[in-house]
Amino acid sequence: MHCFSLPSSRLLLLSPAKTTLKSPCHVSPRMFFNDGSNNSGDGNGNLNPINNIAKLLWGASLPPGLLISTVRSTWTSTWQIMMSQLAPSDPSGGYTRPPSKFRLNGQNPTAKLHLYVALPCPWAHRTLIVRALKGLEEAVPVSVAAHGFDGSWEFKDIPDKDNGMDNDTLVPTADKVNRCRNLKEVYKQRKGGYDGRVTVPMLWDVENKEVVCNESYDIIEFFNSGLNGLALNPGLDLSPVELKEEIEEWNRVIYPNVNNGVYRCGFAQSQEAYDVAVTGLFSTLDRIDDHLDSSRYLCGDRLTLADVCLFTTLIRFDLIYNVLFKCTKKKLLEYPNLHGYMRDIYQIPKVGGTCNFPETMDGYYRMLFPLNPGGIRPVMPSGCEHNFLSTPPKRESMSSASVGKNVQHVL
């Protein structure tokens, strides 16, 4: 799975409906230039012409009903056009995620590799966590794209002193390999070019200038077992043979209902599609919360790829999905086991450094224009702040006396 950039689109500018005035309108300077007590400016003495035109036409009353209905109808039609490109849907209006184009298909590439990610993306976040836990930072360098104003993934070289984060937290970077301005340019450098959806994460063959893979689960499986000769922590196995079937069972539950389920809620284009998605999401969260009442991780004492995949959705839940994607039935904070489980994983060394919450919020609230046209980013919930997430979850007692070697390797 992957995160995509928004398609380019032109904005439609609408002309207000004609308004018939019953009597001549005499415009005096005071209608536009007043004492500033009516909030028609920006607070710095700069007048807002849109507010003043509205005052001239309608005074203190609401705009005419015809204008409201016209703008609403036009906005709805424009929204549907934009959503059809952003989030393809089935006949019921349910979001249908396009499949990844570049797959590993069980192969382990031996080329010099480079990883492209974006910090808001939960699918890219999976790869960063496994890369960190396995100790692959030197073996697989990374370039971190940021959201662009036009919806693209673009590269920014932000000096450490200006990024506002500590040195252990990932921040957007320049393209360290191809020196491209945005991710679309990187994709186009492959042989034959590329005109498809530009997504992260993406694993790149540096020498042959080719996309190796842009399917997140393929990449984390490869990082887990395919690069042990280069990994600093080769003994860590997040997908041991004896747990593979159980991991796959959890993935079959979590992916459609939670990982993709939050997107099915947020990108639903009908009430019916939203109702189906939100019901599946919260019934699954209830089930997982019950399971975690007696199990430290999904598969017992051992941290696995299933936990990594669930974590990257949970860490964004109260921050993003509860608000922007209308996953409002409950906050994650209201699930005592799930929230403690999330904090438990967050506190594993190196995991917290892959979480850049301001960048994540910007990527959703300011990039997903159809869902948040004003681009206003809400304040961060206190339960999502680092200090709160660092409070002891006290879940170690759930591990048996013979705590899995897997967890010992992580810690």
Could you give the C-alpha distances from 180 to 25, 136, 152, 205, 403, in angstroms and in order?
Answer: 56, 24, 13, 15, 46
Helix ranges restricted to H, 59-205: 65-86, 122-134, 183-188
Contact present, 345 and 289 (Cβ < 8 Å)? no
Contact present, 266 and 325 (Cβ < 8 Å)? yes
Which run of H or of E encompasses 310?
helix 305-314
What tokens appear for 364 in the block? 């959703």
* Residues designated as active site: 121, 263
Q: Which amino acid is at 198?
A: V
> C-alpha dihedral over 183, 186, 191, 197, to 10 degrees?
0
Within 13 Å, how many C-alpha atoms sit on residue 136's CB side?
28
Which positions ≥6 away from 126 have C-beta within 8 Å? 201, 216, 217, 219, 220, 308, 309, 312
Q: Which amino acid is at 395?
A: R
SS3 15: coil
Within 13 Å, how many C-alpha atoms sit on residue 103's CB side?
7
Which residue(s) pair with 95 in the sheet? Answer: 89
d(CA 37, CA 44): 12
Which run of H or of E encompasses 113?
strand 113-118
d(CA 326, CA 278): 9
What tokens appear for 261 in the block? 């389920």
Phi, psi dihedral angles at 63 (to 5 degrees):
-60, 160
Which run of H or of E encompasses 405?
helix 405-410
Contact present, 93 and 275 (Cβ < 8 Å)? no
SS3 per-residue string spanning 62-81: CCCHHHHHHHHHHHHHHHHH
